[in-house]
Structure 1
């Protein structure tokens, strides 16, 4: 399907979070700080000046989640990262990645 109501509604929600952050002068690390209290496998993505890298849609900080065998996922701390922190199904899927990398045939 070339157009999805669910995806467009999600994008609008993401953009509205950015407006909310800008209007009310909310710190870009607000959502990251809450996630960091839930897990120790999350890091803040920093630029060369040691400032948080912001999401292009909402401006909140990008979080880096660290998984088994060195796999890392970088996601918006306001939208995607909260869905990944503590998600057992996603963690199990990531754990299969090294096995697929080693055992799959490349053609």
Structure 2
């Protein structure tokens, strides 16, 4: 994915109160905030409305079980280590 796609891909983030849409660039910069389990649940291309697989989101930014376990195993670096509840390298898998 090239740099320009980051603003054309919209992620729909599942939040306890309501789903929120953000560009992939914004999600990658901000992350889940204080809610450690908030994660993208859908993605689409804003310019066309085309549904996209979640695989368009790099693994380290998906914040799902696979992503958090990859961080714990040291396979990928945590993009948001400053946020509460983030996985640490060496912790047991979920």
After TM superposition, is the score higher than 0.5?
A: no
TM-score, scaled to structure 1: 0.24
Query: Greater helix share, 1 or 2?
Result: 1
TM-score, scaled to structure 2: 0.26
Decide which structure has the larger Cα Rg and report it: 1
Query: Greater strand share, 1 or 2?
Result: 2
